[in-house]
């Protein structure tokens, strides 16, 4: 149903912004959510947390004037409940219906679409290169990006199309100009912002090794070969070819301090190897990933920070609130990084999660083969990223 199709309850209910809800969750408050989406949508993607109680009752259960008592019994009467849905229309109706019956409720503004619009910038305090480094965090999908600012120049690694204006505004606020927008690879879980930023006068950069996948716009951008460097003020960004998750995967070493690894290595897992060539090509990709990790990543100094393009619920942030860790810490914590090649390949192929939602359409869009408007792009990337292998099987004891 469209929001305007829902009946209007008598009671007015308070609207809660996504940012305010996240602040409550981050502060450790006990939060109770009533998710009014269909069960299939709820099972795929929802707001979770140690202090979050989440209840799924689809909105249609509240459409009849006489609501089944079994439905109402699922909703606590002794605490405030935040109702949410996909876009905010159904949740306002359900919250009003419950308020009419005496429940203490509010509803989430813009629903899960609003939740997906949260994008936070956190300084990486352990970064010790030139300039200042920030990590962008999108809690709805676990997407991460990196903004390096030194003097009046800046570079963004793995930008999202949905936040093109945000990057430009942030960099202006920081007294700099965005010189580069760099992609680590052809993403399968979100729409890249590199081309949009390039159209705004920023130099867009994609890995040269990714072009053969069918990129249609390579002549319009700069292509980065292994070892190429880009100056950002006094800082240097170096391209480090690390294939495995994709054949074109390229990490970026930010002034010898942090390696932005894209989807090659996360602080809680390693890449899944099946999104480019499918199940048939996954074993070879896994061996390629093993070689990249052992010869290109783990050979860097132990105190080099690693920052992936995603984090999952299994990831524990560092003291500064960023999802970063040193190479030494990851080797000590992740069994997969100290295995021999055959065991590594067997492990990461043994328990891969479902592929990201709409990943084929997202890949085609990022290759330039599929054209979507901003609203379609935003909708395509809603949901979990699932670009990592199973965290449960990879972590150490």
Is 30 in contact with 51 (CB distance < 8 Å)?
yes
Residues 151 and 234: their CA atoms lie apart, in Å, by 8
Alpha helix (H) residue ranges in 74-212: 89-100, 111-115, 164-173, 194-199
Is 382 in contact with 45 (CB distance < 8 Å)?
yes
Q: Which residues pair with 147 in a beta bridge?
A: 134, 156
**Residue for token pair 């040193």:** 326
Q: 110-126: string of b/e by CB count within 10 Å (b at 16+)? A: bbbbbbbbebeebebeb
85 as an active site residue: the answer is yes
CA 129 to mean position of chain CA atoms? 25
- The residues near 141 (Cβ < 8 Å, ≥ 6 apart) are 116, 189, 190, 310, 381, 382, 383, 384, 385
Length of the chain: 397
Q: Which one is catalytic: 16, 85, 265, 380?
A: 85
Residues 386 and 196: their CA atoms lie apart, in Å, by 25
Helix axes of 278-292 and 341-350: crossing angle, nearest 10 degrees: 140
**Residue for token pair 């290759």:** 367
Residues 254 and 267: their CA atoms lie apart, in Å, by 17
Catalytic amino acids?
Answer: 85
């Amino acid at each position: 149903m469209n929001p305007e199709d829902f009946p209007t309850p008598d009671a007015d209910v308070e609207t809660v912004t996504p940012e305010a809800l996240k602040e409550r969750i981050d502060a450790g408050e006990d939060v109770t959510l009533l998710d009014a989406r269909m069960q299939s949508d709820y099972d795929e993607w929802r707001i979770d947390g140690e202090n979050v109680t989440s209840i799924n009752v689809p909105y249609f259960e509240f459409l009849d004037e006489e609501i089944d008592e079994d439905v109402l019994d699922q909703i606590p009467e002794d605490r405030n409940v935040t109702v949410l849905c996909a876009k905010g229309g159904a949740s306002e109706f359900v919250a009003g219906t419950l308020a009419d019956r005496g429940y203490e409720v509010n509803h989430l503004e813009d629903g899960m679409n609003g939740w997906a619009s949260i994008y936070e910038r956190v300084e990486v305090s352990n970064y010790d290169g030139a300039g200042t480094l920030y990590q962008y965090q999108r809690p709805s999908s676990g997407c991460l990006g990196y903004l390096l600012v030194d003097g009046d120049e800046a570079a963004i690694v793995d930008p999202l199309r949905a936040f093109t204006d945000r990057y430009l505004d942030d960099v202006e606020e920081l007294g700099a100009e965005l010189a580069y927008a760099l992609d680590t690879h052809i993403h399968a879980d979100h729409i890249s912002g590199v081309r949009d930023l390039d159209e705004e006068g920023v130099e867009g950069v994609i890995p040269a090794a990714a072009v053969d996948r069918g990129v249609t716009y390579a002549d319009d951008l700069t292509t980065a070969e292994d070892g190429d460097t880009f100056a950002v003020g006094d800082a240097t960004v170096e391209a480090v070819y690390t294939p495995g998750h994709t054949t074109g995967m390229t990490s970026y070493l930010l002034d010898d301090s942090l390696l932005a690894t894209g989807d090659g290595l996360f602080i809680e897992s390693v890449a899944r190897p099946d999104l480019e060539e499918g199940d048939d090509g996954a074993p070879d990709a896994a061996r390629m990933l093993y070689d990249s990790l052992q010869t290109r990543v783990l050979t860097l100094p132990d105190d080099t920070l690693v920052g992936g393009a995603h984090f999952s619920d299994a990831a524990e942030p560092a003291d500064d609130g960023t999802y970063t860790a040193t190479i030494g810490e990851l080797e000590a914590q992740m069994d997969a990084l100290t295995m021999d090649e055959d065991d590594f390949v067997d492990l990461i192929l043994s328990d891969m999660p479902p592929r990201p939602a709409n990943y084929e359409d997202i890949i085609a869009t990022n290759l330039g083969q599929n054209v979507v408007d901003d609203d379609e792009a935003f909708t395509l990337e809603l949901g979990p990223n699932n670009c990592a292998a199973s965290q449960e099987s990879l972590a150490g004891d």
